[in-house]
Structure 1
Amino acid sequence: MAAISSVQCLFSCDSHHHQLVQSGSLWRLGSRVLVSSSLWKRSQFSRGDSLRRRNLICAVKGDAEGAFKKTVAIDRMIDALQDANPRELEQLVVENILAFDEVFWIRLAARSDTCKSDDDKKDYEELAATVMSIVDCVVNKTREKIETSTDVLKGILRPVVEGVEEISWPPRDPEAINQMENEIIQREKEGQLDEGFLSEVSAQLRQAKEDKEKPGLAAMLQKVLQLYAATILSKRSYAKKGNEVVKAEYFLETLIKAPEEQWNKLFLDGLTIGKGEIAPDELSSVIKKRIERTLIRTEGGSYQQRVLIEYLKGIESRATEILKLIQE
């Protein structure tokens, strides 16, 4: 149980350290929102603090020109928020979530200070409360999603870490990898392996690589992404055209499903450089086609797209290495 305890400790600490990667900015934003909210409430739109807040904007930005451009951008955002209906307001906040930093709240308070009527001041107070509420909701949902993703990852890793004193890779029990693969297949069917999950795994992998004392964990997390990619890519086959089998496509699909440790043997058995009948150029061609199809079928810049493309390029890179070794 020592190994799984260390994994749990890593998740509980490092998942907060990586702070959601792309979504992680929301974690940092969460802390800024708390500061900003209290700042707004403490100020109560006090005119006496107005000058200090304006000076703070300039100090934060470092130069007058930069501060001016930032102020103009914030004013445009405030104007857009004021003119928006409730649905549009929520969408604006979500789409520009990172814009609601401390400088934004300072500027909003400063604009309220210049109001000549209590009604206008009240409008700003209501706008601030609404925006804060939406931001807090986004942050809370993101936190919940990360915690769920962490639990999913723990469940996938459990077969290879449970009962092990120290994390190592490969695991002493080969069956543990099969159990981990079955977990991934089942959880993918249940829709648990979403962008939040891939973000969590990718962030934990980066942390593990930086920590030289956890090479086993890095390899384990890399295996999770490989198994995920193999599971997703294997759901669609291009090996048949009518009644004919496209041998190069079939060979690629065999590689996709196979463990990375078996790739070298499969290349030697399947390519013309060894015992097979698939030319290296044919394999390269079908890999490129699969990459193009993946780019079309996945969201641009998503973790899913990155993981799938990286897996396919990994196969291509290994084939190139084998070819060079044989030609030498």
Structure 2
Amino acid sequence: MAAISSSVHCLFSCNSHHHLQREQSGSLCRLGGSRVFVSSSIWKLSLFSGVDSKRRRTLICAVKGDPEEAFKKTVEIDRMIDALRDANPREVEKLVLENILAFDEVFWIRLAARSDTCKSDDDKKDYEELATTVMTIVDCVVNKTREKIETSTDILKGILRPAIDGVEEISWAPRDPEAINLMEKEIIQREKEGQLDEGFLSEVSAQLRQAKEDKDKPGLLAMLQKVLQLYSATILSKRSYAKKGNEVVKAEHFLETLIKAPEEQWNKLFVDGLTIGKGDITPDELSAVIKKRIERTLIRTEGGSYQQRILTEYLKGIESRAEEITKLMQG
């Protein structure tokens, strides 16, 4: 990105790499909401070439733990290995993708141990070819995950570009007031194109955590928070519950006005819209529709997803601010 400040350059060139390293430490990566252990190619292949049987037995003993649990794990792995050996190439790929969490250290050690017990060179060769095939598929998944993280970083950079292009020192709010509008338009467009998926939300959340830990980039922290606020407003505004037949449900309409409005305008909207100020919506009515919207959000989003957490936090933020204003006005 042209004329980008050193802190932002570090964020996206170095920090994204650290984010990947956190999720993929040697062989640990995140796929969706799951953590997947993928042994390095060299380590896996070494189990089949140049590592003596005594060393492998030592490794097997080291990972056993509870005997009963170890036995159950071994039975499960043997079933997986047998299924993979009997499957055709297309079925092998399907099995690997469906059971990606199964390919941990214990799996590779067990596969190597079974190779050791083979009585013929042909059987041993079959195991080595199976290991190579599975390894290739798993490594492909890791590479696609890495590419996805990099793509999500590029999307985030594109959204932030209006606020940071040509800026030497990151500050909030941006010097150009139009920057936020341009960021919002960028988010709306990219959401229409299906780019703001779980991978993107994961990347923003990771960058936000890092900015909080660093404590020396308050402008960047506020900027990333604004991205999530604009995202939440965009998604939540796609559905309206303000009309019931020909009638307008005032509390729902008021909530939707708050959802679409910048956070900086919430206080004024509360004073103008609630009965504690100049309006005709009671705090209890607003609280009721917020809780109902949170309930609808929980139903319509995947449990435990970044989207679910971000949208519900945004709604709870509105509720919390309303409670603060209510207490202040009444006190």
Tell me how far apart the structure 1 counterparts of residues 290 and 89 of structure 2 sit (CA, whole Å): 48
Query: Is residue 119 from structure 1 mapped to residue 118 from structure 2 by the alignment?
Result: no
- Aligned-residue Cα RMSD (Å) equals 2.5
Tell me how far apart the structure 2 counterparts of residues 233 and 2 of structure 1 sit (CA, whole Å): 34
| Contact 1:45/1:113, CA 8 A, preserved across alignment | no
Write the mapping of 1:84-163 to structure 2, written as runs, cut at 5 A.
Answer: 84-163=87-166
Tell me how far apart the structure 2 counterparts of residues 153 and 191 of structure 1 sit (CA, whole Å): 14
From 42, 50, 69, the counterpart of 2:46: 42
Q: 2:62 — aligned with what?
A: 59
| Contact 1:268/1:274, CA 8 A, preserved across alignment | yes
Q: 2:8 — aligned with what?
A: 7
Tell me how far apart the structure 2 counterparts of residues 260 and 246 of structure 1 sit (CA, whole Å): 23
Write the mapping of 1:1-328 to structure 2, written as runs, cut at 5 A.
Answer: 3-19=4-20, 24-25=23-24, 28-29=27-28, 33=38, 35=40, 37-45=41-49, 49-60=52-63, 70-328=73-331
Segment of structure 1 superposing worse, 251-260 or 293-302? 293-302
Q: Deviations over 1:136-166 (max 9, x none)?
A: 1111111111111111100110111111111
Query: CA offset at residue 173 of structure 1?
Result: 2.0
Segment of structure 1 superposing worse, 143-152 or 249-258? 143-152
Amino acid aligned to 2:299: I
Amino acid aligned to 1:12: S
Tell me how far apart the structure 1 counterparts of residues 324 and 138 of structure 2 sit (CA, whole Å): 49
Tell me how far apart the structure 2 counterparts of residues 291 and 252 of structure 1 sit (CA, whole Å): 12
Query: CA offset at residue 106 of structure 1?
Result: 2.1
Q: 2:33 — aligned with what?
A: none
Query: CA offset at residue 32 of structure 1?
Result: 7.0
Amino acid aligned to 1:241: K
Query: CA offset at residue 69 of structure 1?
Result: 5.4
Tell me how far apart the structure 1 counterparts of residues 11 and 113 of structure 2 sit (CA, whole Å): 43
| Contact 2:172/2:219, CA 8 A, preserved across alignment | yes
Query: CA offset at residue 241 of structure 1?
Result: 1.4
Tell me how far apart the structure 1 counterparts of residues 298 and 124 of structure 2 sit (CA, whole Å): 50
Segment of structure 1 superposing worse, 255-264 or 63-72? 63-72
Amino acid aligned to 2:12: F
Query: CA offset at residue 280 of structure 1?
Result: 1.1
| Contact 1:33/1:101, CA 8 A, preserved across alignment | yes
Q: Deviations over 1:238-279 (max 9, x none)?
A: 111121111011000000000111111111111111111111
Task: Provide the identity percentage.
Answer: 81
Amino acid aligned to 2:124: K
| Contact 1:298/1:304, CA 8 A, preserved across alignment | yes
Aligned residue pairs total 324
| Contact 1:271/1:277, CA 8 A, preserved across alignment | yes
Tell me how far apart the structure 1 counterparts of residues 88 and 25 of structure 2 sit (CA, whole Å): 24
Paired residue secondary structure (1:322): helix
- Larger fraction in helix: 1
Amino acid aligned to 1:44: F
| Contact 2:20/2:149, CA 8 A, preserved across alignment | no
Tell me how far apart the structure 2 counterparts of residues 27 and 41 of structure 1 sit (CA, whole Å): 16
Give the direction of change, closer, same or farther, for the CA distance of 1:234–1:20 in structure 2 (3 Å limit): farther
Unaligned regions of 5+ residues in structure 2, if any? 30-35
| Contact 2:290/2:319, CA 8 A, preserved across alignment | yes
Unaligned regions of 5+ residues in structure 1, if any? none
Q: TM-score, normalised by structure 2?
A: 0.88
| Contact 1:2/1:166, CA 8 A, preserved across alignment | no
Tell me how far apart the structure 2 counterparts of residues 173 and 27 of structure 1 sit (CA, whole Å): 43
Give the direction of change, closer, same or farther, for the CA distance of 1:276–1:291 in structure 2 (3 Å limit): same
| Contact 2:20/2:146, CA 8 A, preserved across alignment | no
Amino acid aligned to 1:227: L
Segment of structure 1 superposing worse, 70-79 or 171-180? 70-79
Give the direction of change, closer, same or farther, for the CA distance of 1:27–1:96 in structure 2 (3 Å limit): farther
Give the direction of change, closer, same or farther, for the CA distance of 1:60–1:167 in structure 2 (3 Å limit): farther
Q: TM-score, normalised by structure 1?
A: 0.89
| Contact 2:47/2:56, CA 8 A, preserved across alignment | no
| Contact 1:40/1:105, CA 8 A, preserved across alignment | yes
Segment of structure 1 superposing worse, 140-149 or 51-60? 51-60
